[in-house]
Amino acid sequence: MNPLPTRQLGANGPVVSALGFGCMGLNYGYGTQLEKPAAIAVIRAAFDHGVTFFDTAEVYGPFTNEELVGEALEPVRDQVVLATKFGFKEGELAKGTDSRPERIRAVCEASLKRLRTDRIDLFYQHRVDTAVPMEDVAGTVKDLIVEGKVLHFGLSEAGVNSIRRAHAVQPVAALQSEYSMWWREPEREILPTLEELGIGFVPFSPLGKGFLTGKISTDTSFPKGDVRNVAPRFSAEALQANQAFVDLLTRVAAACGATPAQVALAWLLAQKSWIVPIPGTTKLDRLEDNLGGAALTLGASERQQISEGLASIKAVGERYPAKVGAVER
């Protein structure tokens, strides 16, 4: 496989492989946990295939995902960009947000140890904390940058107002939010704001939590603990309605000799030069398939076919169950 092309996240952010690797699913979120040797093997295989950008968070596990990433990448630490996140009380999603300055510092110190490193390349606020002024959050990360413990500041799922407030205190290198063919809301306000401010964009779930690969149907059963079991978008009715997205991808993929996953990722990469998706997988063959998306260039006819197709399809089902609560846009 050819080396992956690189992209810079924002005007002053890190230079990374055009596709990163989302590590969460190796042992969190999807009801399956790879044994440590297998998880480490997947991470190292991603690096061997040219990936230099790896995404984790203290809440994944909690804590164990960072440990996997730290152990897997310690031998090549200076050749990769590590991203992790703070923002939940005691590192547990169910306990709500906590971005108090003292908590941010505590997470930083703990993450440094688990990641076996002396600096965090990209430190995201995992979700906006309405109880803590964004200026205090950005100011704390700015201090950590001055101290050399963090290199770049990021936000996740933040809205335009929060992005601007944070950026005014400490330049934001990247925003991480969901973005794919079946979740295009960032195109309305987020992408224009990022372009204006010189901030990179890191789409998570770029393959729609696996749906856009074409491997999921109404007959698919997910393991206990898999987030898709409670996501409205993955109800049988929604999956049937949303099959139109997969049908479109399948048609385009057949025309250009690629797979639906590769077309979905190539489409994202074509939107802006500062977009770096982070697909994740537990399978080596899927890893190789995904990375092929970075080598696929969609022609004018394919792009037109996708644009026309998307214009006539409306996604059915919410991303998250109502009990999760509203996520700031």
Residues annotated as catalytic (active site), given as ranges: 60
Q: In which residue are the tokens 């230079």 written?
A: 15
Task: Tokens for 306, please give them.
Answer: 């996708």
236-256 vs 300-311: helix axis angle to the nearest 10?
160
Alpha-helix residue ranges (DSSP H) falling in 147-278: 160-169, 190-197, 236-256, 260-271
- DSSP letter for 19, please: S
- Give the number of other Cβ atoms within 10 Å of residue 277's Cβ: 27
Residue 183, φ and ψ in degrees, nearest 5: -145, 90
- DSSP letter for 117, please: S
Cα–Cα distance list, 245 to 212, 220, 264, 269, 312 (Å):
7, 17, 10, 18, 10
